[in-house]
A and B are shown apart, each in its own frame.
Chain A
Amino acid sequence: MTMILYIAVMAGVTYLIRMIPFTLFKKKIKSRFIQSVLYYIPYAVLSAMTFPSIFYSTGNTVTAVAGTVIAVILAYFRLPLTVVALSACGVALITGFII
């Protein structure tokens, strides 16, 4: 019973956080400043989420840095998402066997 309450609170709060701004905000934003902030937010969020967390993502900084370097190189040449992600994982795995 307690477990159901825990899960309901978790899911309910998480849903409302997502639903309220997405559903209620229907106007086009006119302010050039706010438009600019919203334009930059996606890349800023992704970058802040990736760094520095990616360096801890494999439990070993050396394998994580090796994977990061490969991901950056492949992404620079605009390879598809899956290729970049799987290559980073593969290089991290192989580096783990070498060191």
Chain B
Amino acid sequence: MKSPFKKGLSDGIPIALGYFSVSFGFGIMSVQSGLTALQAIIISLTNLTSAGQAAGVGIIAAGGTLVEMALTQLVINLRYSLMGLSLSQKLSDRFTTIHRMIASFGITDEIFAVASSQTEKLVPSYMYGLILIASMGWTGGTAAGALAGLGLPSTLTAAMGILLYGMFIAIIIPAARASKKDLIVICLAAVFSIGCKLIFPALSSGFAIIISAVAAAVVGALLFPITPAETEAEEK
């Protein structure tokens, strides 16, 4: 039996690989926007988020205000509050306030996805393993991209853009296969999200995701409320 920390590290390897490629692009973009490699690395180390950082560098490059910066981060990253709330229901008693305050730093789309797909309750050391390796991939990729990125063939960097989405597919499809209720909610969320993009192209991607996901989950909860047995299975 692996220790929770080691299990976290090993579950985090695909996240780290995906992050490396995405943050590689972020590193290139930062340097092109006039930041130094060190500044790009510090941003990745302290923020650990893709869309928020990309928007942030855009604001820095355009000389935007700090209020604009704060509001943009709030809108794009608000989904993390929802994820934190969902994960808070899955924590073991070992998650004291201080552990919660530390581990919350690492709530990202991918870490949330892997953590919430665990069948047992979450312990701090598992989360730290996941966050540590993911953060290394994210910061390492930023450094590599900022320092050396312009040399790679563009066909390769373009194809690497699909890595993280491939990982999401690997999480949602098996769930959809196992449960018809999950399948319907997954399809609804995809339809709402595509609809947002087609009908309201000006809507920020952060808002579009929040609206689509909450709408799909509410419809799911109204049509197919989960039974107490399923909740207990979650708690094991």
Chain A interface (Cβ < 8 Å from any Cβ of B): 3, 5-7, 9-11, 13-15, 17-23, 25-26, 28-29, 32-54, 57-60, 63-64, 67-68, 71-72, 74-76, 78-90, 92-93, 96-97
Contact = CB atoms under 8 A, between A and B. Distances in A.
Q: Looking at chain B's contact residues, is the secondary structure mostly helix, strand, loop, or mixed? A: helix
Contact of A45 (B82, B155, B234): B82
The 10 A-B pairs of least Cβ separation, nearest first, read: A22-B84, A36-B221, A88-B166, A75-B173, A85-B166, A84-B170, A93-B159, A11-B46, A51-B190, A40-B217
B64 to A, nearest CB: 9
Contacts of B132: none
A67 B158 CA distance: 12
A38 B86 contact: yes
A47 B109 CA distance: 11
Nearest to B115: A42
Contact of B14 (A34, A39, A64, A82): A82
The A interface, classified by DSSP as helix, strand, loop or mixed, is helix
Contacts, number: 296
B197 to A, nearest CB: 5
Interface in B184-198: 185-190, 192-194, 197
A86 to B, nearest CB: 7
A17 B81 contact: yes
A14 B77 contact: yes
A32 B222 CA distance: 10
Given A40-B185, A48-B212, A93-B159, 11 more contacts: A3-B35, A7-B42, A10-B47, A11-B46, A14-B73, A18-B81, A33-B221, A34-B221, A47-B168, A67-B159, A76-B174
